[in-house]
Structures are given as structure tokens and as C-alpha cells.
Amino acid sequence: MLSHFSKALFTLLLTVLFAFVWALFLFYTHPSLRPDSVDWAYVLRDLFLCLAAFLLFVVAAYLPVRQPVALKLTLGFGLHFLGVWQNLLNDLIQPDGWLPQTIGLALVPLGLLIATLGLYQMGRAYRVSRLMLGSYQKIERDLATIDQLTQLYNRRYFFTTCGPMMDHPVQENDQPVVIGFRVLNLTELNQRLGLQAGDEVLIRVGKAVRRYLRPGQIAARMGGRRFAVFMPDASLAEAERFAEQLAGRLKHVLLKDQEGEETLATLELSFQIAAAEPGETLESLSRRTGSPVEENEAPRGL
């Protein structure tokens, strides 16, 4: 089976051969104009247009695009080249019939129309490919930075992003604050209601945390049942209100057991809040809240 390069080369050679054979036929069957009767300005113009049309034809033939688009581009620019070639021949002969004139007048706009349709389809395909590439990149970025169960950031993103924010200037009476919390009875719920119910608990926690976050604050799942919220410019009172609101919202949740029956479960959440001291790092601040710094607890439903 011929390669794309071989098909393009064959198409170009066949078109050029046809153009020269047609030129020989016209010069053989039609009288040529004398040099003093030729309008050389028109000849030079059509010669330049012919070279430009052939260059477009070559580019279209070798474009690495899908076959339907490549076919339209090659056919369109090929017809356009033949039409311009015919106009160049008409500048050098005395056409005594309707065919030479009609070919030049018809092939140029027809070729441009087909080529325009091919360019339009190529533009649409390029736009779709860009959208798909953007989607793939977003999915890849989310998989690297977001915990897929809770839709919160993961531990790596938490320390990578929040660490540099520790040095940002804050308003008076505000400082970086970290809230570390965990679901104490997650193992009990998993054993009593099943792993699916435990995963649902973590999903509910993620939704509740995202609801109370303010712009600039970052929440992450730090381990199986551990979470952390970073507030770059907050007070202890604000952090305590956040923790109380979250605990109140998650105190009772409706879950389904392994048989599919709904039951009202009580979540036991423990909180530790720590405000940064001058010169303190995010790692030491997180340790004071019970948030794991090392990856010693896998982020999964228990």
C-alpha cells in the first residue's frame, strides 16, 4: 500500500504531466501569438499566480491531515492550479474556441471553493483536537493533584502550593492557620455499614469542606481519614467557626448499609487548629494539627 508521501508525489507528477501534455496539445492545435502581440505584463502576472498556485497544491498534497480533508484540499488547489495554468496558456495562444477560455474561468473559482471547504473542515478538526487535548491535560492535571473520591486536593499539592504562601504578608491580627481534622469512627462505620458507606462519608466530608471554603483557602485530603484546611490570612476565631460549622453539618448523615437500607449515622470529627508562629514552616504547623507530613497513610476509604 502506498504511503502518504508516495501518493502525494504521484498526484503531483501526474498533474504536472497532464498540464504539459495539455499545453503541447493547445500549442499544436492553436496558433501562437507573435512576441510583439503578447501582453507580457499579463504573462508575468499569470506566471507568478501559476507558481503560487502550484506551491499551494504541493503543500496541500503533503499536509498530514485526515484523508477526506486532504482529498478536498488537494483537489481544490489542483483544480485552481490547472485553471491558472490555462489562463497563462491563453496569454500565449490565439484561442479560437470556447473550451480554453471556459476552462480558465471555471476551474479557478471551482478549485478555490473546494479548497475553502477543505480548509474549513481542517479548522474544525484542529479546534476539536485542541479541545480534546485541553480536556486530556485537565484530566491528567486533576489526577495528579486532586483526590478522586473527595474532590479535594491531595497531600502533595497541599504542601507544594501552601508552603510558599506561608511567607506572604498578612493583615494585622491575621496569620496562616491550619485546621487538621479526621473522622474518628470511619472504621466502625465501614465495619457496620460496609466500605461503600465509608466512601460516602468521605464524599460528604469533601462536599461540606468545599462549601465553607473562602477564596484563597485550600483544603486537602491528607490520608485515609485525615483532612487539612489551610487559611493563609485568618484568625483563630475564624478557624474555630469553620470547624464548628463543619462539625455541625456532618454530625448526622443518612447512609445506606450493605442491604441498601438507609440509616442515620453519627460522625465523630476531631479538630486541631494551629496558627503559625514567626518563621514556622508549613510542615511543623501541620504536625501540630495532626496532619501527616509523610505519605504514611494511603488516601483511600477504610
Ordered by start, the domain boundaries in the chain are: 4-142, 153-287
For residue 188, pLDDT over 50 is answered with yes
Q: Which one has a higher pLDDT value, 38 or 61?
A: 61
E-strand stretches of 184-295:
218-221, 226-234, 252-256, 262-266, 269-275
pLDDT for res 301? 42
C-alpha cell at 6: 508516495
Q: What's the pTM value of the predicted model, to 2 decimals? A: 0.55
What is the average pLDDT value for the chain, to the nearest integer?
84
CATH number, domain 153-287:
3.30.70.270
Helix (H, G, I), strand (E, B) or coil at 266: strand
What percent of the chain is modeled with pLDDT above 70? Answer: 88
Q: What are phi and psi of 25, to 5 degrees?
A: -65, -45
**For residue 128, what is its C-alpha cell?**
476539536
pLDDT score recorded for residue 295: 55
Q: Cα-atom radius of gyration of the chain, to the nearest Å?
A: 36
pLDDT for 226-272, tens place per residue? 999 999 888 888 999 999 999 989 888 888 888 878 888 888 889 99
Angle of CA points 37, 98, 76, to nearest 5°: 95
pLDDT tens digits along 276-296: 888 888 888 888 887 776 555
For residue 302, the model assigns a pLDDT of 39
Which tens digit of pLDDT belongs to each residue from 194-224? 888 889 999 999 999 999 998 889 999 998 8
Helix, strand, coil in percent for the chain, rounding step 5:
60, 15, 25
Q: How many other CB atoms are there within 10 angstroms of residue 132's CB atom?
A: 10
Average pLDDT estimate for 105-127: 85
Listed in order, strand segments (DSSP E) in the chain are 153-154, 175-183, 218-221, 226-234, 252-256, 262-266, 269-275
